[in-house]
Amino acid sequence: MAEAIVLMVVGRLTDLLTEEAQFLNVVRDEIQQVVTELMRMKAFLRDADSRISEERVGNLLAQVRDLVYDAEDVVETFLLSAMSSERRKVQGGFRNKVKRSVCSFDEYFYHHKFIKGIKQIQERIQNLFGCFSDYDIKSTQNEGHGSSSSESEPGRLKRFHTFSVVEPKLFVGFQEDVKSLVAHLVNEGDDSYPVIFIGGMGGLGKTTLAEKIYNHKTIKKHFPRLAWVSISQKWQAKHVLKRILISLVHEKKEEILQMEYDRLVENLLQVQQTKNCLVVLDDIWSSDAWDLLKAAFPTETSRSKLMLTSRILDLADHVNPRCFVHKPKVLDAEESWALLRLKAFPKGDHLT
């Protein structure tokens, strides 16, 4: 769900503004402006998500997802550069004028690169707003279930844990699916499945189902370390692995941000083999994408589990021949009516 992804990244950026204030104060205004625009965009995404079966709307939501992850990458890249510059100052004693000049030039370069990146993000945001208008996608800002005033103000945003997933509000017809898949995930017997694969065509509710499982109290109790990453069409394996590892070992965030691919794989394998972890890869779209990530996941039985969602059912065997494949069913007439009532009357009103 695009709405959940936007909230996740907004929470991440808001956390960074608080936790890394000494490095980000110089670009605080630019980051807050992007956060404000993303929250304004969020108000359109519920309507867009409900129309995901339309090809052009589905493509638009993919662009939204790429945008928010790119915005996060721009901020994290600047943060890492600022941290590295500060470390050089401390290590060098900052006594030498040459060193001082080099650091100043680096800071100017990174700041210029950040401003350029943020401007591109802002331009893409405005283009997306234009598409919302062209496609007649409605804002839910003023409809009971839309954003509150506190959500629309960057200084008062609710803070989410890094890479957490927002509990889906509209959930109909999947109760038995959740119960069954949660049981499979926490099963540690010889008949357990290392991978849960939720597959099927767009619009079946794969991501909604995965979110419900991810937020289930039994899952949170059994897996103290959780990670959720949505795989966009414009992705890099290293960035995805960093997101996962930071979620699983948040206390080593600064060290992880500087890791290269091989170290990321090594550390991910280690934590999954020694801790109970659940990693969710949402909307993985090709076997090539999996091939670039699979080295980071245990091939033998471990204490950890992997859950994937994808439109490509054939991908399941490629990921792991022993995975449990679940295809959400299409809602029947009664369930479809119940979902429509929830969307049309979020406050519990009734048709008269």
pLDDT for the residue 341: 52
> Do 56 and 195 fall within a single domain?
no
For residue 316, is it within any domain? yes
pLDDT for the residue 294: 94
pLDDT for the residue 230: 81
For residue 7, is it within any domain? yes
Torsion of CA 14, 38, 284, 52, to 10 degrees: 150
> Do 22 and 152 fall within a single domain?
yes
> Do 150 and 195 fall within a single domain?
no
> Do 193 and 315 fall within a single domain?
yes
Q: What is the CATH number of the domain that holds 287?
A: 3.40.50.300
For residue 163, is it within any domain? no
Residues 6+ apart with CB under 8 A from 197: 307, 308, 310, 315, 316, 319, 323, 324, 325, 326
Range of the domain at 299: 175-335
- 3-state DSSP call for residue 277? strand
| Residue pLDDT tens, the chain, 352 long | 678 788 888 888 888 888 788 888 888 899 999 999 999 999 899 888 888 888 888 889 889 988 988 898 899 888 888 877 776 665 555 445 444 444 454 677 788 889 999 999 999 999 999 999 889 999 886 544 443 333 433 333 333 333 444 444 444 457 888 999 999 999 988 778 899 999 988 767 788 889 889 989 999 999 999 998 888 666 788 888 988 998 899 888 878 888 899 999 999 999 999 999 999 998 888 899 999 999 999 877 678 999 999 989 999 999 999 899 999 876 555 544 454 455 555 555 555 4
> Do 219 and 296 fall within a single domain?
yes
Provide the domain count of the chain.
2
Torsion of CA 331, 336, 338, 340, to 10 degrees: 140
pLDDT for the residue 163: 40
pLDDT for the residue 161: 35
Q: CA-to-CA distance for 294 and 91, rounded, in angstroms?
A: 38
> Do 96 and 216 fall within a single domain?
no
Cβ atoms within 10 A of the Cβ of 67, count?
25
For residue 120, is it within any domain? yes
φ and ψ at 259, to 5 degrees? -75, 145
Question: 276: closest CA among 241, 306, 313, 242?
Answer: 306
> Do 130 and 22 fall within a single domain?
yes
> Do 186 and 144 fall within a single domain?
no
pTM over 0.85: no
Question: 279: closest CA among 350, 321, 335, 223?
Answer: 223
> Do 311 and 197 fall within a single domain?
yes
What are the Cα distances from residue 62, in Å, to 42, 67, 136? 14, 9, 17
> Do 32 and 65 fall within a single domain?
yes
User: What tokens were used for 156?
Assistant: 């008062």
- 3-state DSSP call for residue 197? strand
For residue 169, is it within any domain? no
> Do 133 and 182 fall within a single domain?
no
Question: Length of the chain in residues, anyone?
Answer: 352
Using one digit for the tens of pLDDT, what is the confidence trace for 234-288? Answer: 678 888 898 899 889 988 887 888 889 999 999 999 999 999 999 999 888 889 9
